[in-house]
Chains A and B, each alone.
Chain A
Amino acid sequence: MTDAMDKRAAGNPPAPGMDVELYLGMYEQMAKIRAFENKVNELYTSAKMPGLSHLYIGEEAVAVGVCSALTREDYITSTHRGHGHCLAKGAQVDRMFAELLGKKAGYCAGKGGSMHIADPQSGNLGANAIVGGSAAIATGAALAAKKLGNGRVVVCFFGEGALGQGLLYEAMNMAQLWKLPILYVCENNQYNEYTHFRETAAGELADRPKAFGIHTETVDGQDVRLVYETAQRLVERARRGEGPAFLLCETYRYHGHHVGDIDRSYYRSKEEERYWQEQRDPLKTLADWLSGAFQVHRSAFEQIENSVRAEVEAGAEFAIQAPFPDLSEVTEHVYAESPDA
């Protein structure tokens, strides 16, 4: 963890755009997510990982920008494409890998897997494998935060595919009615699985939350500075009791819907993929800005990349070596222990 991140955790964020350490910290987090996801892909293709995974590569600026505006006590809900959110909110690489491999040391003791990482310590209410499935859970956590007066804010992450789910609208309606401290973060990565969102969504996406009177902003989700500055404003607004907001982030999924989605020509072109990877990459965008504005040398980024790669390699190795759960654990945690009546 960098010094800048320590400062943030202590609740003392520096002024946006003024602190090179802050943005180097975000670069490190984005690089870590990318290295993590590349390793996941490698584990999958070498048949070391059971099941499959939905990679977050290309969308790193959204998770990092938004979570950088949160405290550790704030809550998030995540999605089937959730590794980035979990890492950005404070999950450790080794326990993440352990969960992906179904090991006892994982965040869910091996019972959740890639799509269900949850961690009370970092305020992660859980990744959800039902598209839009956490919209009401997140909103309920915001209701609880308001009732308890604990000053916490909830971020509900979802993809543009979730805009097809009615639950989200039911929940946003109540969030606005009751001025709940929640930020709905829509990651428009352009595709609902294998279908472009223009084929599934009528009208403009941002008009939908606006219909409830919810404060709505749209940002370039590839620019972590913009995401962070906007999220910070919206989070602080929610913390002041001014109600929910909706942040639409335009972004792109570099890989397929999941690790096995290799041949994508029937739904999108190589040219389009190249455009986003070459012209709109969130790491490159931030590195260019840091180099220009602060004369950060290329070697600084290389150093960060080497360090996160080492962390990822060590984390994956830990997970590979870690034991599977004992077979007796299959019936554990079906129910939480309750007081005797």
Chain B
Amino acid sequence: MSMQNRPMREITFGEAIREALAEELRRDPRVFIIGEDVAEAGTPFKVLSGLVQEFGPERIMDSPISEAAITGMGVGAAMTGMRPVVDIMFGDFVTLVMDQMVNQAAKMHYMSGGSWKVPMVLRTTMGATRRSAAQHSQSLHALLSHIPGLKVAIPSTPYDAKGLLKTAIRDENPVVFFEDKMMYRNKGLVPEGEYTIPFGVADVKRPGSDITIVATSSMVAVALGAADKLAEIGLSAEVIDPRTTLPLDKEALIQSAKKTSRAIVVDEGYEQYGVTAEIASVIADGAFYYLDAPVKRMGAMNVPIPFSPVLEDLTVPTEQAVFDMAKTLCGRV
């Protein structure tokens, strides 16, 4: 059945994640979830509520507060026949699992000459403006996207979240899955029944002709908002979401920039050495002869995320800032 003919429902981003997990848990007995407060508590974000009732504590496993070890145990279990989904509550805590992801999971297949595989998923969160201060607000997906051997998904809608998570669980490699915790209650249309979304395929969220705005995760909504405002002044912005930073759909991003001749890259990670830098470089290189303006990058401000709401709100790119940047690039004053 084609996607268009399916009955669609409006569900939240969090519900889409839960559906993907529940469907994969039903489909494959090797899948299990391990993490802090994932069972009865359903995580602090309640995304996993109800799963332990259906699948039991053997498959929805509450762990001690030991991020590094549960991740490493995910690696070992994945190598020996299981499909673990490791839950790391806050993306800031990926620093605690870096040896297991970077030196173990990512390298196992290559280092063993292809003889071992690590089919695991590490789900974690990202995103500021929850008033959670510097250690619970970062978007650290660039750190993982740096590492050969890992795959990194960073969905922006309930539809993408569900399809990409199911793909992640079926992938034969370690996948890190970043969910913006500020989007869990956002709603979107999701078809009933089974579907997956391939990695490395960007999605045009809004077609346009004057400027390309490449945006990820929470920044897609920001970019779409900016595109609405740009339309009011007669500028047509194309919003394109790579959906996975690793693999990255370079060709689609380059083609969009060639078409519009201008590009801005917006991402909630720190701007310095970030995802925006990589994507801007891909576009600058691939679309050089078509560009009418330098490729611009907009990321989180290069400061630890502050607590005070008035300060925190300054650190994340806004609709207005993206609008202003696009306007300038298009030569409007």
B-binding residues in A (CB < 8 A): 75, 77, 106-112, 116, 118-120, 125-126, 128, 130, 133-145, 147-148, 152, 154, 166-167, 170-171, 173-174, 177, 332-341
Contacts and interface: CB of A to CB of B under 8 A. Distances in A.
Contact of B115 (A120, A135, A138): A120
Given A134-B104, A171-B73, A336-B172, 12 more contacts: A109-B113, A109-B114, A111-B112, A112-B111, A118-B116, A140-B76, A144-B76, A144-B81, A148-B81, A170-B69, A335-B173, A341-B198
Contacts of B99: 130, 133, 167
Contact of A170 (B68, B82, B166): B68
26 contacts: A108-B112, A108-B113, A108-B115, A111-B111, A112-B112, A112-B113, A116-B112, A118-B116, A136-B69, A136-B72, A136-B75, A137-B72, A139-B76, A140-B72, A140-B74, A144-B76, A144-B80, A147-B77, A167-B100, A171-B66, A171-B72, A174-B64, A174-B70, A333-B109, A333-B110, A341-B166
A116 B111 contact: yes
A332 B114 contact: yes
Interface in B82-113: 82, 84, 99-100, 103-104, 108-113
Interface of A: prevailing SS: mixed
A171 B110 contact: no
A147 B113 CA distance: 27
B187 interface: no
A77 to B, nearest CB: 8
A138 B173 contact: no
B73 A139 contact: yes
Contacts of B63: 174
A140 B112 contact: no
Given A141-B77, A143-B77, A171 B69 contact: yes
Given A167-B68, A341-B199, A138 B76 contact: yes
A134 B114 CA distance: 18
The CB with the most chain B CB atoms within 10 A, among A125, A140, A338, A341, is that of A140
Given A136-B71, A137-B72, A125 B170 contact: no
Interface of B: 32, 58, 63-64, 66, 68-82, 84, 99-100, 103-104, 108-117, 119, 148-149, 151, 163, 166-167, 170-173, 196-199
Nearest to B76: A140
Contact of A174 (B73, B78, B112, B167): B73
Contact of B77 (A109, A118, A140): A140
A188 to B, nearest CB: 23
B111 A106 contact: no
Nearest to A118: B112
Contact of A136 (B76, B117, B173): B76
The CB with the most chain A CB atoms within 10 A, among B100, B110, B199, is that of B110
B197 A341 contact: yes
Contacts of A130: 99, 103-104
Contacts of A106: 113
A114 to B, nearest CB: 12
B110 A136 contact: no
B68 A147 contact: no
A167 B80 CA distance: 20
Contact of B32 (A134, A135, A147): A147
A154 B81 CA distance: 14
B80 A336 contact: no
A76 to B, nearest CB: 12
Given A118-B111, A133-B99, A338-B170, A170 B77 contact: no
Contacts of B32: 147
Nearest to A148: B81
A232 to B, nearest CB: 22
Those 4 A-B pairs whose CB atoms lie nearest each other, nearest first: A136-B72, A140-B76, A109-B113, A140-B73
A338 B295 CA distance: 34
Contacts of B166: 341
A167 B71 CA distance: 10
A129 B144 CA distance: 21
Contact of B69 (A75, A126, A139): A139
A125 B113 contact: no
A337 B170 CA distance: 11
Given A171-B73, A341-B198, A141 B68 contact: no
A258 B308 CA distance: 53
A337 B108 CA distance: 14
Contacts of B73: 136-137, 139-140, 143, 171, 174
Contacts of B112: 107-108, 111-112, 116, 118, 126
A167 B108 CA distance: 18
A338 B64 contact: no
B172 A338 contact: yes
Nearest to A113: B111
A107 B115 CA distance: 9
